[in-house]
Chain A
Amino acid sequence: MLILVNMNTCFGIWPIIRGCNLFMLKFYDVNFRYENNEKYLIENLNFQVDNREFISIIGPSGCGKSTIFRLITGLEKADSGNIFINDENINNLKGYIGYMPQRDLLMPWRTISENACLPLEIQGKNSKEAKSEAEKLLEAFGLGKYKDKYPKDLSGGMKQRVSFIRTLLTGSDIMLLDEPFSALDAITKISMQEWLLEQWSNLKKTILFITHDVEEALFLSSRVFVISEKPITKLKEIIVPAGYPRDRHVLNIPEMMDIKEELVNELKQRVEL
């Protein structure tokens, strides 16, 4: 028992001893296949994400992007290999992730503030406290006047903002956003992307963002992971040649245009018509 405790402390301070950043998320030799499938969907996958990075995962639909998220959230279990968050195996954790699904999934019977405070309620906070905390955050995000409205009264973009705030209230340092803007119209989408980038730099969170929109990925992220093969054995990494803060003009830099062209071509090849 004593040895075990020591081991744990070692793991805890190990990165500090090395003097480098904590890896926020780490896949270590992960294998996975769905129950009734013979073939592995993910084979010996390794990758890591640093603290406060904004990473996009891009790939054609059906390639397994969402499966990676399902593994991180623990909704699916890896057949072998390990996934670490903050050097802690996710099998030992509970409620460790802020997952924002594609559709807003707000509960129609709860008001906006009651929806936003849901993760806090699950964590065991009493509902009054949870609600007032959510209201503070809604206020800060300019949604204060909607707190007592129901989801049906809000536009698509606003619902996604509420969903984002709800994800924030999980208190997790790492957020998984699964194509959150794919159902929005083009103009709303652009303003939501800018809004998200602003929130990310203020909040100092690590974000993993799934998308199939090349421009969206390049505009938002510091690195882009491309899924281009099946089974997924590695993620092709593209470092976006632009710093933060950035605006939409970065998409017009020649270097960026080249990467975009290359990415579109690569993804196009994978699409089976």
Chain B
Amino acid sequence: MKKYSSSIIVIIMFFAFWEGLARYINAMYILPSPSKIIEKIWILRESLFKVHLPATLLVTFLGLLISIVLGVALAVAMSLSENIEKALYPIVVVTQTVPITALAPIFVLWFGYSIWSRILVTILMTFFPITVNVYDGFRSTKREMEELLITYGASKKQIFLKLKLPSALPYFFSALKISVPLSVIGAAISEWLGSQSGLGYFSKRMMTQLDGAGVFAPIVILSFAAIIFVIIINVLENKIIKWRNEV
């Protein structure tokens, strides 16, 4: 806890300043104070936590899951064959240069307001860091180590399972830590652009009603959700990669 004490102080100061400023300006529809936002969350708890949060989480989880499967599969394919790498890597990079927020309306056009248009946006935002990181992980193996396994008579499959996969594991966790917050953002953006439920949609609806605190409330919940996910991943990482903290 001591580690975080200075950042906690900064956060408290920030919110205190915000509270003071908001009360001074006294225009809650533009700049709601933190206390008002919390009050709003409490008032709207039923619909926020029972309807919209689960909707967003569903998109987040499904999108992330498909991203992990897709990203790891791409990374494996690229590490197994140089030709596949040459063919796919540039395409993977190009997908990241496309402004995803601009693509979202097209997905809505294709899939309507169904969950799949939202999941597709989330996938587009999250699969890239997973692919690139895991691929780097496969490549991080030492040549000498691979040669040693070859002298033992190891097959390509054995080299992959016993050397490349474990080497890539820390990279996979780094990728997850980038992708999880991105998946939350992706889900929220897609809900903003075309949806009938979810925290992003809720935020948009509140904006049309000029309800400042109502716009902030789902953002606070999204932030906390992302923080909790990252903490969970950290705990998992420390459990699985016991051998880390190498000098």
A contacts, CB < 8 Å to B: 73-75, 94-97, 99, 101, 103, 105, 107-110, 118-119, 121-123, 150-152, 170
- Given A150-B243, A152-B247, A107 and B166 contact (CB-CB distance below 8 Å): yes
Given A107-B166, A118-B162, A121-B162, do A152 and B148 touch, yes or no (CB 8 Å)? no
**Contacts beyond the supplied A75-B147, A109-B169, A170-B152: 4 A-B pairs with Cβ under 8 Å:** A95-B151, A105-B145, A118-B162, A122-B149
**Neighbouring B residues of A151 by C-beta, 8 Å:** 243
User: Do A123 and B152 form a contact, CB below 8 Å, given A75-B147, A107-B166?
Assistant: yes
The answer to whether B144 and A105 touch across the interface, beta carbons within 8 angstroms, is yes
A109 near B148 with CB under 8 A, answer no
Residue contact A75 to B145, C-beta cutoff 8 Å: no
Contact of B152 among A109, A110, A122, A150 (CB under 8 A): A122
At the interface, yes or no: B99 with Cβ under 8 Å from chain A?
Answer: no
Residues of A within 8 A of B242 (CB): 150
The answer to whether B243 and A152 have CB atoms under 8 Å apart is yes
Q: Return the contact of A118 from the options B142, B152, B169, B246 (Cβ within 8 A).
A: B152
Interface centre among B152, B162, B163, B247 (most CB of A within 10 A): B152
- B12 close to A (CB within 8 Å): no
| B232 sits at the interface (CB 8 A) | no
Select B145's contact among A95, A99, A107, A123, beta carbons within 8 Å: A107
Point out the residues of chain A lying under 8 angstroms from B158, CB to CB.
122
Residue in contact with A109 in the complex, picked from B144, B149, B241, CB distance below 8 Å? B241
Interface size class of B (residues with CB under 8 A): 20 to 34
Give the CA-CA distance A118 to B167 in the complex, in Å.
16
In the assembly, what is the distance between CA of A94 and CA of B246, in Å?
34
- Please tell me if the beta carbons of A97 and B166 are within 8 angstroms of each other in the complex: no
User: Is A122 a contact partner of B246 (Cβ separation < 8 A)?
Assistant: no
User: Within 8 Å of chain A (Cβ to Cβ): is B90?
Assistant: no
Could you tell me the distance in whole angstroms from the C-beta of B172 to the nearest C-beta in chain A? 13
How far is B167's CA from A142's CA once the two chains are assembled, in angstroms? 29
User: Which A residues are CB-close (under 8 A) to B154?
Assistant: 122
**Residue-by-residue, is B129-165 near A (CB-CB < 8 Å gives 1, otherwise 0)?**
0000000000000101101111111100010001100
A152 to B147, CA, bound (A): 22
A98–B83 alpha-carbon span in the complex (Å): 34
Most B CB within 10 A of own CB, among A94, A99, A107, A119: A107
Please state if B152 and A103 are interface contacts (CB–CB under 8 Å): no
Q: List 22 A-B contacts (CB under 8 A).
A: A74-B150, A75-B150, A75-B151, A95-B153, A96-B153, A97-B151, A99-B148, A105-B142, A105-B144, A105-B148, A108-B243, A109-B166, A109-B167, A119-B152, A122-B149, A122-B152, A122-B153, A122-B162, A152-B243, A152-B245, A152-B247, A170-B152
